[in-house]
Amino acid sequence: MNAEIAQYAAQVGAALSDLPEHARNDLLEDLPAHLAEVAAEIEAEGGGATLAERLGPPSAYAAELRATLGHPGGHSRTAAWAGRAVSRVRARWDGLDRRLGPVIGYERLGEFLALLRPAWWVLRGWLVAMLVAQLWRDGDGLGLLPRFEGSTLLGLLVLIAFVVGSIWLGRRTAAAPPARRRTRVALGAATAVVVVFGLGLWAAADDRLMGSFWQESTPTAWVNDPYNQVNDVFVLGPDGQIIQGARLVDQDGSPVVLGYCAQRFGWEGPGGGGRGWEWRVVYPSCPDLSAPQLPWVAVSPAPLPWGTPSPSATPTPSGSAVPSPSVTPSPSASTGPKLVG
């Protein structure tokens, strides 16, 4: 009810926004208290009615006040047009409010949104903390916690402070919207900045979770690569036997680089001298990968020489055959330039 009173009073105030500030403040000073009396009467009579149902729309209330106090209608043409536009938008929202509410089991959508308000306060506090951390930061990446000077603890404390502050501000403005127009405008502008920042943060986080940074940093372009499912390539002779140490080349004699292991890897010369990138292009290229089972090959392939000899002659792909990131050749793993081909 208090929120309804504050909202109604704020809307009446907005409809009187063309009056000189002191006259308006004079007029509105007692309005919330008065509306609270009216609300109490509604309650005493059994409740159920909203202020707007009892008193008419805030714009009508404002017009009546204006007439009673002998303030001229005083709308400039622009203000009148803006007023009509605002009430049109309000009427449309009112319709949506009533129509969409029942869809989610509420009388009005606004009722549900009002319940979400504290959640917004918390979110707002977090966003402001993140924004401050971003403005503060010195080259740190973007995380989900604000960090100051790389300190998570300090970040947490700041986060808590901003969230508590936001809740305090939310409760205050919900109970009584700031009377001064300038304060309201400033609050609105700050909210807009926070919302825009929040959307940016959300987009950036989404981008990262989708792994676009990974795509940019891998040598083989994974995007649109029809071979990105290929982990290794086995070249078989006509007898169904795997040809060891096979190489694939294209029409120009350049190596065809396929598979997870057949990748460019960095090497570093002894003592840090000489760095470079090489292609590992001998197939099969993953040293610890078992050969695939080939049901269409009449002759059962011989086990790979590097594979663990199994009791049966047929090698089976085992769970350990799946390559894990740890098998990726890394610069530190290779001690020197390993040239192949």
Partner 1 sequence: MDTTQLLKGVLDLAVLAVLRDDDGYGYDILRRLRTAGLTEIGDASVYGTLRRLFAAGYLTTYVVPSEEGPHRKYYALNPAGRTQLKQGGDVWREFASTMNTLLRERA
User: Which of residues 43 and 207 has its CB atom nearest to partner 1 in the complex?
Assistant: 43
- For 12, 14, 51, 282, 289, the CA distances from 24, given in Å and listed in that order, are 10, 10, 21, 84, 81
206 binds partner 1 (CB under 8 A): no
Pick out residues in 18-47 that bind partner 1 (CB under 8 A). 26-27, 29-31, 33-34, 36-41, 43-44
CA distance 312 to 214: 41
* Residue 24 C-beta: closest distance to partner 1, Å: 12
DSSP for 133-202, written as a single string: HHHH-SS----SS--BTTBHHHHHHHHHHHHHHHHHHHHHHHHS--SSHHHHHHHHHHHHHHHHHHHHHH
Q: Which two tokens stand for residue 235?
A: 């070249």
Closest listed residue to residue 145, CA positions, set 211, 201, 214, 208: 201
CA distance 3 to 5: 5
* Residue 44 C-beta: closest distance to partner 1, Å: 8
Bond prior to 315 in cis (omega within 30° of 0): no
User: Which of residues 44 and 223 has its CB atom nearest to partner 1 in the complex?
Assistant: 44
* Residue 67 C-beta: closest distance to partner 1, Å: 7
* Residue 89 C-beta: closest distance to partner 1, Å: 23
- Which of 14, 49, 52, 55 lies at the binding interface for partner 1 (CB under 8 A)? 55
CA distance 8 to 15: 11
CB atoms within 10 A of CB 206: 10
Region binding partner 1 by CB under 8 A among candidate stretches 48-56, 122-130, 170-178, 280-288: 48-56
* Residue 78 C-beta: closest distance to partner 1, Å: 25
15 binds partner 1 (CB under 8 A): no
Region binding partner 1 by CB under 8 A among candidate stretches 54-62, 120-128, 156-164, 333-341: 54-62
Are the beta carbons of 329 and 263 closer than 8 angstroms?
Answer: yes
Region binding partner 1 by CB under 8 A among candidate stretches 59-67, 148-156, 204-212, 276-284: 59-67
Angle, helices 2-15/31-44, rounded to nearest 10 degrees? 130
* Residue 45 C-beta: closest distance to partner 1, Å: 11
67 binds partner 1 (CB under 8 A): yes
Are the beta carbons of 144 and 127 closer than 8 angstroms?
Answer: no
* Residue 2 C-beta: closest distance to partner 1, Å: 10
333 binds partner 1 (CB under 8 A): no
* Residue 151 C-beta: closest distance to partner 1, Å: 47
Q: What is the size of the binding site for partner 1 (CB under 8 A)?
A: 26
Are the beta carbons of 162 and 129 closer than 8 angstroms?
Answer: yes
275 binds partner 1 (CB under 8 A): no
8 binds partner 1 (CB under 8 A): no
- Cβ partners under 8 Å of residue 117, min gap 6: 170, 174
User: Which of residues 62 and 133 has its CB atom nearest to partner 1 in the complex?
Assistant: 62
CA distance 117 to 99: 21
CB atoms within 10 A of CB 340: 13
- Which of 22, 47, 48, 68 lies at the binding interface for partner 1 (CB under 8 A)? 68
175 binds partner 1 (CB under 8 A): no
Pick out residues in 114-173 that bind partner 1 (CB under 8 A). none
* Runs of H (alpha helix) within the chain: 2-15, 21-28, 31-44, 51-55, 58-68, 77-100, 109-115, 117-136, 152-175, 181-209, 212-217
User: Which of residues 68 and 217 has its CB atom nearest to partner 1 in the complex?
Assistant: 68
Pick out residues in 104-123 that bind partner 1 (CB under 8 A). none
Binding footprint of partner 1 on the chain (CB under 8 A): 26-27, 29-31, 33-34, 36-41, 43-44, 54-56, 60-62, 64-65, 67-69
